[in-house]
């Protein structure tokens, strides 16, 4: 399971011209599910995303998590993060889990964030999405479980 998290000033996701999810200050999470992933891994990754300290404290150090910073979390499915790019000129997506399996874990992951008190808006799984963001920093980290 891979989460690419970006600290953002704002972010949104649009499907067929309609905004389906948006946040102000917070984290944009691009989430990829791999075949060996499970609910335990999804729960642990949600804990890490919610607790990861990437927001500055009063001393300018990254010591605050998204909740402590008063931020929000937007989750967008991104199977391409699981691509094998080690050779050739075209990515292989054999590292990504099957769509039905992925959708269930994606929804479970988002549910875990909601149980932590986040609204956690999302994109639409499997849709052609247009993601807009203003990366703050820029600050981007890849979390894997």
24: Cβ–Cβ under 8 A, 6 or more apart, which residues?
A: 9, 10, 71, 72
Which residue stretches of 61-137 are H helix? 99-115
Calpha distance 93→85 (Å, rounded) = 9
Q: Which residues are catalytic?
A: 78-80
Pick the closest to residue 54 from 14, 3, 107, 20 (CA basis). Answer: 3
């Amino acid at each position: 399971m891979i989460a690419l998290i970006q600290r953002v000033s704002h972010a949104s996701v649009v499907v067929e011209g309609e905004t389906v999810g948006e946040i102000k200050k917070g984290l944009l999470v691009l989430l990829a599910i791999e075949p060996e992933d499970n609910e335990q891994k999804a729960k642990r990754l949600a804990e890490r995303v919610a607790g990861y300290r990437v927001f500055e404290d009063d001393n300018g150090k990254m010591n605050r998590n998204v909740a402590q910073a008063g931020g929000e979390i937007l989750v967008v499915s991104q199977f391409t993060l699981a691509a094998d790019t080690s050779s050739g000129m075209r990515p292989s997506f054999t590292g990504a889990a099957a769509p039905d399996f992925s959708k269930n874990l994606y929804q479970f992951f988002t549910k875990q964030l909601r149980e932590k008190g986040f609204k956690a808006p999302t994109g639409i799984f499997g849709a052609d999405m247009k993601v807009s963001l203003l990366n703050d920093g820029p600050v981007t980290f890849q979390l894997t479980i």
